Amino acid sequence: MNSTGFFNSVWLLVAHIPAGRVASYGQIAALLGHPRAARTVGWALHSTPDHLDIPWHRVINSQGRISTDCGEHSPGLQRYLLEQEGLQFDGDYVDMDRYQWQPDMATIEAILAKGHPLARTD
DNA sequence: ATAATGACTGGGG
DNA sequence: ACCCCAGCCATTA
């Protein structure tokens, strides 16, 4: 159990990204107070337990491009899910200025304070 | 405790 | 636009 770990915070925050919006790995890291831990965010999402039902597809790279090459969470699936939520792609890119999630600090604090029901069960 | 591992990022060529 | 590189850092596949 680890409701305060970084992975858990990542899942918690990503769970609150609204449909039709996206965040970058670095953005999630920064919102959690670790602006250099973008890679770790990617790793956290890679190891997201399926039962948590996290909208993992709403996290893409800072260029507005899909990064995953994981079999379970494939680029094709991620793009499909995003398009289902109304995002339009220009080639391999989405317009970050248009779709990026922009929560205010109060929202973030509320989410993090609320904390946890996402603790791992292994 | 140390080493390896990435769904990253920004900069440079 | 593309490819490559070095720095990055929480976790342990």
Q: How far is the CA of A41 from the C1' of C10 (A)?
A: 9
Are A62 and A50 contacting, i.e. CB atoms less than 8 angstroms apart? no
Q: Does pTM top 0.85 for this prediction?
A: yes
Q: Is the dihedral of CA A24, A48, A37, A16 positive or negative?
A: positive
pLDDT tens figures, A10-52: 999 999 999 999 999 999 999 999 999 999 999 999 999 888 8
Q: How far is the CA of A68 from the C1' of C8 (A)?
A: 19
Residue A122 has pLDDT above 80, yes or no: no
Residue-level pLDDT at A23: 98
- CATH topology for A6-114 is Arc Repressor Mutant, subunit A (1.10.10)
Q: Is the minimum distance from the CB of A51 to strand C below 7 Å? A: no
Residue A120 has pLDDT above 60, yes or no: no
Q: Is the minimum distance from the CB of A39 to strand C below 7 Å? A: yes
Q: Is A69 helix (H, G, I), strand (E, B) or coil?
A: coil
Are A6 and A32 contacting, i.e. CB atoms less than 8 angstroms apart? yes
pLDDT tens figures, A75-113: 999 999 999 999 999 999 999 999 999 999 999 999 999
Query: Which nucleotide comes closest to A60 if you measure CA to C1'?
Result: B7
Tell me the C-alpha distance between A88 and A15, whole Å.
22
Query: Residues for chain A: how many in total?
Result: 122
Q: Is the minimum distance from the CB of A56 to strand B below 7 Å? A: yes
pLDDT tens figures, A60-79: 999 999 999 988 899 999 99
- Angle between helices A105-114 and A6-14 in degrees, nearest 10: 120
